[in-house]
Chain A
Amino acid sequence: MYWLRRLWSELRNEVFVLPSRMLVLAWALGLLALPAVYADPYVMRILTLTCLYAIFAASWDLLAGYSGQVNFGHALFFGAGGYASSMLSLKLGVSPWLTIWVGAAVATLLGLGVGYICLRLRGAYLSLATLAFPLIAVGLLLAFPGFSGGELGMFGVSRLTNNLIGNYYIAVIAMLVLVFGMWLIADSKFGLVLHAIRDDELAARASGINTPRYKLTVFAIAAFAAGVAGALLAHYLRIAAPFLLETALSFQVVIWGIFGGVATIYGPVAAVFVLFPLIEWFGGFQGFGERRLLFFAVIVLLVLLFMPRGLVPWVRDKVETLCPRCKQRNPGWRAVCRLCEAPLSATDRPRSTAPRKA
C-alpha cells in the first residue's frame, strides 16, 4: 500500500506535471495494452520491427548525440549481434534465449575494438572511418560464403517463441527496458560527462576526466544495445543476411537520429515510431510500393527545412516552456513556473533578464 501511494505521488508530481512526460507514459502503456485491444497480425509485425529499430536508433543517439562520436557504421554492431546469435543457434543448436546474449557480447567487443581504433579520431574523420568497418565486415562475409551463407545469408534461424503476441511483447519489453536504461544513463552524471566530451574534449581532459575510458564505455554500451536489437531482429525475421550490415542501414539510423533530434534518446525513438510505420503504410498503397524511399527522403528534407533541430525538440518547444530563472520545463499553458513561480511568458519578464536561449 505504501508503495502504491508512493508510485501515485511520483506519478502526480513528476509525470503529470509535464505534457511530454504524460505522452511518454501514454505511449508506453498503449504499446503494452495494444494486443489486448487490436491484435492484427500485420500491425503486430510492423510494431515489433519498429520497437527493434527504435532500440537501434536510441543506441546510436547515446553514442553520437551525447558523446559526439558520430558513428556512420552503427549497423556493424546490429549485424554483429544478428550474425553471431544466428550462427550459434543455427550451427550449434543453442537456444536463442542464450545466443542473444552471446550476440550482444560480440557486438560489445566489436564496440570496444572500434572505439579503441577511433580514440584519436574526431569529427568528420571519425564518421568516415567508422563507415568503413561494416563494409570490411560485409566484404569478409561475402568472401567466405561457406561460413556465412554469402549474399543470401543464413535462413531458418529459430524464433524465440512462435507466438505472434509473444514476439511482440519480447520486442516491446526489450525496447522499453533498453531505451529507459539508456535514458537513465544519459541523464546521469555519466551522461553529463559525455556532454562535456562532445562540447570540448580538451576542457574535459583538463578537468581530470579520463576521456578515453568514457569514450570506450559509451561505445561498448551503444554496441551492446545495438547488438541485442540486431540479434532479436535476426531471430524474429529468421534470417541473418548482409542487409543487417549494409551502409543503407547505417545511414538510416543517422537519419532517424537527426530527424528525431539528437542528444535526447527519446527523439530517435519517436522518429522511428513516426517514420517506420508511415513508410510501411505508404508501401501498402497501389503504386507507392516502389517509391516509398523517395517519399521517405522527401519527407525528411521538408521536415528538416522547417525544424532543423529535429522533430521532437520542435514539438517540445511548442508544448512546453523553459523557466527563465530555474531552467526547469513547464507546460506551455502555465503563466508562472511550477517550481519557483517566476513569470514564464516573454512579455511579463523583466527587461533585465537575459533572453532565453532557443
Chain B
Amino acid sequence: MLQDIIITGLISGGVYALLAIGFSLIFGVARIVNIAHTAFYMLASYGFYTLLVKVGLNFVFAGVLAVAGVTALSLLCYKLIIEPLREHESAVLIATIALALVIQELMLFGFGGHFLGIPSTLDGAFSVGGVSVAYQRVVIMGVAAAMLIATWTMLYRTRLGLAIRATANDLEVASLMGMNVHRIALATVAFSVLLAAIAGVVVAPVYVVDPFMWLGPLVTMLAIVVLGGLGSVKGSLIGAFIIGFVEAITVFALPAGAFLKGAVALSIMVLVLFVRPEGLYGVAFEEEER
C-alpha cells in the first residue's frame, strides 16, 4: 500500500504541478483568475483523442498537434475575449467561467456525454517492489518532470523568464523599465496553456475523458495554488505534491476515501490559510501588510 501511495502521489502531484504552475503564472503576470485553465486541459485531451483515434495519426504527432492547436486557440480566446475586458476584473472572471462552459458544452455536443476510451500509447507494465506500474504512468511522470525542468529553465535562465518574474513582482515598475507587459502577458498565457495542454495529452489514456473532466482538477488546482501562495511557482510546485500525496493517502487508507479525497485536500488548504493567510510561499500583494 505504501508503494501504491508513493506512485499515485507522484503521478497526480506531477500532473497537478503542471496545471497549478500555469495557473499561478497567469495570475501572477496578468492578475487573471483563469477558471478556463483546466478547460484547455480537457480540450487537449479531446484533441488528442480525435487526432489519434478518428484521424489515426501516430501518437507523437497527435500529441504535438493537439498541444499546438490548443495553445493557438487559447491565444485567440485571450485576444478576442479577455483583452477587451482587462480593465474590468469581475468581467474577466465571468468571461473565463463562461469560456469554460462554452468549451464544456461544445465537447458535450461534439462527442456526447459518455466516457471516451483512449488506447494506451505504450502498453505493458513492470513491477517495482510488488506494485505493477504501467508504462503509460511512467510516461506521465517523465513528461511532467521534463516539463517542470523546462519551466524552471525558462523562468530562471532566459530573458523572457526574467521579464515574466519581474512583471509578476511589480507590473508597473516592469512597464517603466521598458518591458512590453502586454506581450509578456500573451507569452505567459501561451506558456501556461502549453503546460496544461501537455498535462491533458499525457493523462488522456489513463484518466477518463468526458466533458466534465475539467471540474475535478480545477478545484484541486485552485486549492493547490491557494495553499502554495498565489503567484508563487515554488509554492505551486510544493503544494501540488502535498495535495497529490494527501489525495493518494486518503484514497488508499480511508474506507470512503474516494468521496473524501477532495474534502480532505480542501480542508488542508483551509487549515493552511487559517495559519498563513497568504499561503505557504505567498507574497503579500497589497502594500497594506499587517
Contact = CB atoms under 8 A, between A and B. Distances in A.
Contacts, number: 128
Contact of B274 (A117, A144, A259, A294): A117
A297 B95 CA distance: 9
Interface string B184-205: 0000000000000000000000
Contact of A143 (B88, B108, B260): B260
A128 B226 contact: yes
Contacts of A247: 215, 219
A270 to B, nearest CB: 16
Q: How large is the interface on A (under 10, 10 to 19, 20 to 34, 35 or more residues)?
A: 35 or more
B94 A259 contact: yes
Contacts of A259: 94
Contacts of B263: 135-136, 138-140, 143
Contacts of B81: 301, 305
Interface in A290-349: 290-291, 293-294, 296-298, 300-301, 304-305, 308-309
B91 A135 contact: no
23 contacts: A70-B90, A121-B273, A122-B277, A125-B278, A128-B230, A132-B269, A132-B270, A136-B266, A142-B259, A143-B259, A144-B256, A201-B288, A258-B93, A293-B101, A293-B105, A294-B101, A294-B105, A296-B101, A297-B102, A298-B102, A305-B81, A308-B91, A309-B91
A41 B256 CA distance: 43
Given A143-B256, A294-B106, A308-B88, A300 B98 contact: yes
Interface of B: 27, 33, 35, 81, 84-85, 87-88, 90-91, 93-95, 97-99, 101-102, 104-106, 108-109, 215, 219, 222-223, 225-226, 230, 256, 259-264, 266-267, 269-270, 273-274, 277-279, 282, 285-286, 288
B268 to A, nearest CB: 10
Interface string A107-145: 000000000010011111101110111011011101110
B86 to A, nearest CB: 10
Nearest to B84: A305
Contacts of B256: 142-144
B91 A304 contact: yes
A132 B95 CA distance: 21
Contacts of A300: 94, 98
A317 to B, nearest CB: 15
Given A132-B266, A294-B105, A301-B95, A308 B219 contact: no
Interface string A277-291: 000000000000011
A188 B87 CA distance: 29
A255 interface: yes
A254 interface: yes
A251 interface: yes
